[in-house]
Amino acid sequence: MEPQPLKYDRQLRLWHAHGQQRRHLARICLVNAAAVGAEAVKNLASALSPSSPPPFTVVDDALVSGAHAGRNFFLDRSSIGKPRAEALAALLAELNDEVSGSAVVRSPADIIASSPDFFRQFSLVIATELPENDLRALARICWDADVALVVARAYGFTGYARIVRREHTIIEAHRGPISDFRFDCPFPALASHVASIDHTALDSMASSHLPFVVILIKALAQWRASHNGALPANRNEQAEFKQLVSSFKHPQSVDDENIVEAVANAYRAYTPTKIPADVAAILADPAADSLSPETPDFWLLVAALKRFVAHEGNGLLPVAGSLPDMKSDTDSFVKLQQIYRAKAREDTALVRAHLDHILVAVGRSTDSISDELVDRFCKNSSALAVIRYRSLEDEYTANRGAQYAGDDHSNFYWMLRAADRFRTLHGRLPGTDAALLVEDADKVAAVVADLRSENGLPSTVVPDSHITELVRAGGCELHNIAAIMGGIVSQEVIKLLTHQYVPANHTVVFNGVPSSSSVYQF
Amino acid sequence: MSHHDWPDRWKDLYTYLERPGPFENDGFEPGDAVKDFLHSCKILVIGAGGLGCELLKDLALSGFRDIHVIDMDTIDVSNLNRQFLFRHKDVGKPKAIVAAEFVMNRVPGVTVTPYFGKIQDKDEEYYKQFSIIICGLDSVEARRWANATIVGMFDEGDPETLKPIIDGGTEGFKGQSRVILPRISACYECSLDMQTKPTTFPMCTIANTPRLPEHCIEWASSVAWPKAFPDKKIDGDDPDHIKWLLNTALDRGREFNITGITYTLTQGVVKNIIPAIASTNAIVAASCANEAFKIATNCTTYMCNYMMYVGDDSVYTYTFELQRKDECPVCGSAQIKLRIDPEKTLSELLDMLLDTQEVQLKAPSLRTAAKSLFMQAPPMLLEMTRPNLDRKIRDLVAPGEEITITDANIPISLQLTLEFI
Ligand SMILES: [Zn+2]
């Protein structure tokens, strides 16, 4: 199968998990067939669309050793002595009839050094078992080619995952239900609907089914009429406002669930509707200003959104158009829902019109971005997210670890860095020779001291216990830690490929002794 | 070395088992004895589904060689995407048997003994043979039963009867794993109130004021179906049933102007499907197997004692020590005291008990030292005691008299005393 990452790249950025485009999922490259990488690919083969898992390529020139076969479920006794890339690809492909895997039996270091363009065919690379310098070189290649990189590692009881990507944009963060009521600024259709309801004329039954949204809009309008248009500002006023809301209860009504809901949501009514700070920052991002045919869809959509906000939106985002369930009779709820939905459709159409202008201006056809995507974008516009990762090079040359001084999981990060440096200096990992454990511990201590001073870290010493533990591990890969990290890596890869949910930024360290983890931005 | 082994097969594990370390647990002795114990100890995995498949793989590669697995289910097409030991040709076969065969083929020298059936089929004698028991179940009831049975086996005078339980569970991007040392750390029952309850909709909303597509589907399944098919239970896997419910819900939706009713949603509501993803299962299962390895070898300290995992927004774990409850009906001395009007009936007392959050009874039976008040089984006793349900409390027991409660579904017994008001 011919790699076609560029052809599908744009779609992949925004279309994932929606419709047929899933078929053309990104290609994934696994550099070195460590157990942690095999586990990640195993989960990906089943976690994404079961009928169209992403094709993967394993790059590895190692021959399967007895230890490899002992700790990796996708290598077995019969694979010992054979190229690890081929053995792994064959057993992983057995997982699912649809999985297509291939093997490149060539040294990753050699490809990194002599054919860096090789990695351009992938949209995501999972790197395992690379020495420090090769890893840094691979990270530079992926950075320049805008290929996402996930570094995965299981080392003794320590697990490590690092995500590197220039920019990751998210439309569907799934951070919980989006509530967008516009209590303080009801749009005309909503305001006139609420005004048309005379709650004082309702009998107790109808009154107890008045949706809390209607109650709050009415109560707030009343409040503002008697407070020069101001919202309840301080604690006293807010308490007073809640009393006003409670007074909507019908004297004969025994059922006050809607009043309880209105009081519980009162804070939303006196919190002014505005664009969340994170989204305001995205709107102000220069990426939405300099538009060209190469501008990713996400930023074209942001540019259209920005025009909407500046013009028809009067400084606000499009109405989201979804209502949570609430105490209400069917008719009142459905009516309210229709009013919000109609406004959302109107706003979305305006964003669409801005987008069409933009698409024409950059020389793209207006049907190159679907209505369905514009819909999804507008509905989620208050929860858009952009992550710009630190490059691995920045992490290695200007580490920000000082902020985590004394944090225990971050000490294990420094242990892994020390192990890599040790390998560069001594040609093997610490603790691989049972006769040299004491000597190795001294050498590791020296490496740690060097690393820390190079990175401008405080001289607080990493506990001896951590150094002893690093040496004890002897560079081993325990299957369970590999499986935990393989799980985390596959989860993060899914987020990176689908642009849904929020991936970690940028390093996850797991410690299998207490069984706990932390996320760092080194 | 077993004849199945090859050079360096266990090199990674042995590196840890041959060396002392700063995080080793009390009693860790590096050397051959700990390796032998790891390779020979019996471990039980309850459940061969999403977590179970991962667990069997993880344990086999962690050096466990005598693994048993229980599961009562057969393989469904919908399992294939997450339960990686199963293939299309296995659909319809018992999960435990297929999973055991797969792991034994892949990892030579490991014996996986399957049992295709219910955990309740087995008695204490069976559970006694294991050193460690891991639960990878999706049912709260089955976990309560396993927990109560295994914790109940512990006899203070006999350390051999202390069986560590490792429990894992997942739901979408969330999961948890935990280590239970019977009567030493919190048991499953101690934390029952942490369980998230499945969403339920108030009956009056469903009957009178539906607003969501779910309300219409719930109406179709709980009101319309029993009327149309009084003798037939809904089978969530039968497409004809789901289609009937979908059409009925669509009609109701049209009547009330409610949109968004789909086949997938209908099936989800009817089956109360808990979303499961492969990555969370992998993480939770491997953390359970990691604890099993540590407990079997003492090569490092154990998790203490509960890890919560959340993976939808970045990667988050929260590991903490869950406290034992003194009044836990399984591992504590459960004494329930209730204040009750003695004019109330026994049936009203039963309702009060069923509402009690701390004990969560399903089908309680009640007796005093002198007589049976209400027994759910056997049928003869049920018939004999049923008339008591309508009798007043004051005519059945004296204030302060001890009443023993047992439950047909969970092997627990607790003491109830009533104070009359
Ligand atoms: Zn307990």
For residue A333, the chain B residues in CB contact (below 8 A) are 209, 211
Q: What is the pLDDT of residues B290-325, one digit of tens each?
A: 999 999 999 999 999 999 999 999 999 999 999 998
**Maximum average pLDDT range among A274-278, B222-226, B259-263:** A274-278
pLDDT greater at residue A456 or residue B149: B149
Q: What is the pTM of this model?
A: 0.90
- A3 pLDDT higher than 60: no
Q: Which residues in chain A have Cβ-Cβ distances shorter than 8 Å to B88?
A: 97
Does the distance separating the beta carbons of A477 and B19 come in below 8 Å?
Answer: no
Instruction: Answer whether B106 sits within 8 Å of A330, measured CB to CB.
Output: no
Mean pLDDT of A250-257: 88
Mean pLDDT score of chain B: 91
Contact (CB, 8 A) for B276 and B175:
no
Report the residue of A480, A502, A509 to disrupt the B interface, i.e. the one with the largest count of B CBs within 10 Å. Answer: A480
* CA–CA separation, A40 and A152 (whole Å): 9
pLDDT reading at A4 higher than 70: no
Residue of A nearest to B304 (CA): A514
Q: State whether A474 and B15 contact (CB < 8 Å).
A: yes
d(CA B46, CA A368): 51
Across the A:B interface, residue pairs with CB atoms under 8 Å apart total 209
Q: How confident is the model at residue B281 (pLDDT cuts 50, 70, 90)?
A: very high
Q: What is the CATH number of domain B334-420?
A: 3.10.290.20
What is the pLDDT confidence band of residue B187, given thresholds at 50, 70 and 90? very high
User: pLDDT over 70 for what percent of chain B?
Assistant: 98
Contact predicate A237/A228, CB 8 Å? no
Nearest partner of B325 among B188, B145, B169, judged by Cα: B188
Instruction: Pick one of 3.30.56.10, 1.10.10.520, 3.20.190.10, 3.40.50.300 as the CATH number of B203-271.
Output: 1.10.10.520
d(CA B97, nearest CA chain A) in Å:
18
Q: How far is the CA of B21 from the centre of ligand 1 (A)?
A: 33
Do residue A491 and residue B6 have CB atoms under 8 angstroms apart? Answer: no
CA distances from B366 to A41, B336, B346, B360, B370 (A): 54, 13, 10, 15, 11
CA B37 to ligand 1 center in whole angstroms: 29
Chain A residues within 8 A of B13 when measuring between CB atoms: 70-71, 476, 478
Residue B190, sorted as left (phi over 0), alpha (psi -120 to 50) or beta, turns out to be alpha
Strands (E), A43-172: 56-59, 101-104, 124-127, 148-155, 158-164, 168-170
Condensed to tens digits (0 to 9), the pLDDT of residues B102-149 reads 999 999 999 999 999 999 999 999 999 999 999 999 888 899 999 999
CA distance, residue A239 to nearest chain B CA (Å): 30
Q: The complex's ipTM?
A: 0.91
Examine the residue annotation and report whether B204 is marked as an active-site residue of this protein.
Answer: yes
| Pairwise CB contact (< 8 Å): B315 & A46 | no
What tokens appear for A68 in the block? 């490899």
For an interface test with B, the pick among A170, A472, A520 (most B C-beta atoms closer than 10 Å) comes out as A472
Residue A513: which of B62, B212, B300 has the nearest Cβ?
B300
| pLDDT of residue A1 exceeding 70 | no
Q: Do B291 and A515 touch (CB under 8 A)?
A: yes
Mean pLDDT of B2-31: 94
Of A334, A434, A512, the CB nearest to B257: A334
Q: What is the pLDDT of residue A308?
A: 98
Compute, in angstroms, the gap from residue B147 CA to the centroid of ligand 1: 9
Going from N- to C-terminal start, the domains of chain B cover 11-196+276-320, 203-271, 334-420
B60 pLDDT higher than 90: yes
DSSP A454-517: HTT---PPPPHHHHHHHHHHTT-B-HHHHHHHHHHHHHHHHHHHHTBSB--SSEEEEETTTTEE
Subunit contact A501:B280, Cβ cutoff 8 A: no
Would you say A185 and A161 are in contact if contact means Cβ atoms under 8 Å apart? no
* Domains of chain A, residue spans: 6-166+477-520, 188-270, 277-387, 395-473
Query: How far is it, in rounded angstroms, from Cα B364 to Cα B376?
Result: 7
| Distance from the A298 Cα atom to the nearest Cα atom in chain B, whole angstroms | 20
CB contact under 8 A, A484 and B286: yes
User: How close, in Å, is residue A178 to chain B by CA atoms?
Assistant: 16
Q: Hey, how many other C-beta atoms are within 10 angstroms of the C-beta on B295?
A: 20
Does the pLDDT value for residue B409 go beyond 90? no
**CB–CB contact A472 B21 (8 Å):** yes
**pLDDT per residue over A457-504, tens digit each?**
876 678 899 999 999 999 999 999 999 999 999 999 999 998 999 999
Q: What's the CATH number of domain A6-166+477-520, 3.30.450.20, 3.40.718.10, 3.20.20.10, 3.40.50.720?
A: 3.40.50.720
CA pair distance A374, A347, nearest whole angstrom:
11
Residue that the structure tokens 């329930």 belong to: B336
CA–CA separation, A401 vs A410, rounded Å? 8
Task: Take residue B54 and report the two structure tokens written for it.
Answer: 């991962």
Task: Output the pLDDT for position A25.
Answer: 58
Q: Are strands A101-104 and A56-59 parallel, antiparallel or unpaired?
A: parallel
Which of the following CATH numbers is that of domain B11-196+276-320: 3.30.365.10, 2.160.10.10, 3.40.50.720, 3.90.1300.10? 3.40.50.720
Beta bridge partners of A127: A31, A151
Distance A419 CA to ligand 1 centre (A): 43
Mean pLDDT value across chain A = 91
A169-219 pLDDT, tens per residue? 999 999 888 889 999 999 999 999 999 999 999 998 999 999 999 999 999
Indicate the residue of B6, B22, B316 with minimum beta-carbon distance to A465. Answer: B22
Among partner residues B211, B278, B312, which is closest to A46 by beta-carbon distance? B278
Active site residue: B190, B204, B216, B331, which one?
B204
